[in-house]
Amino acid sequence: MKRKNAIIRKERDFFNQNDVVIAKDGSEYFFEIGSETTMDVAEAVSILMRTISWDDIIWETEITEEMRKIAPEKALYWLSGGKKEWDTLNFYKNPWCDCCLDFKEEFGNLIVDIVNKSKTLLDIREKFNKYLNLPIIYEYALTKNIIR
């Protein structure tokens, strides 16, 4: 039985390398990155930026129209520090649930625009790195008094 599942699964995977799987089921795409799973391409890129080499072949993956349905707050969670930061609150004063709306209001439309104008995961990564890097996010957090 396990073998059959693996075979079926493998047929739906169109990327499977370095603990990263991108699979398609019908019109939906799934990203498995280590222990994290998401259907959101922006969130996937923000996680990949922390875990995968910047010269990895995955960055050449083209974005389909189906992938463009995103929730910006998911990417913002990872871009602003991710699980490690939001679990420990080393830099932020409040938990993610209290800060999420502020980040989404400030950067949400930018994330949607970035995804809509990008053709590959690399395009998203480069724009995230340029317009949503940690110093920019921390500077905003300072203005909102949500960072220590």
Encode pLDDT of 83-94 as tens digits: 999 999 999 999
| Three-class SS state of 66 | helix
Residue 117 belongs to what H/E stretch? helix 96-117
Whole-angstrom distance, CA of residue 63 vs CA of residue 123: 10
Global pTM reads 0.88
pLDDT at 9: 42
pLDDT over 90, % of the chain = 75
pLDDT at 6: 38
Q: Which residues of the chain register pLDDT less than 70?
A: 1-15
| Three-class SS state of 83 | helix
pLDDT at 8: 36
Whole-angstrom distance, CA of residue 120 vs CA of residue 57: 11
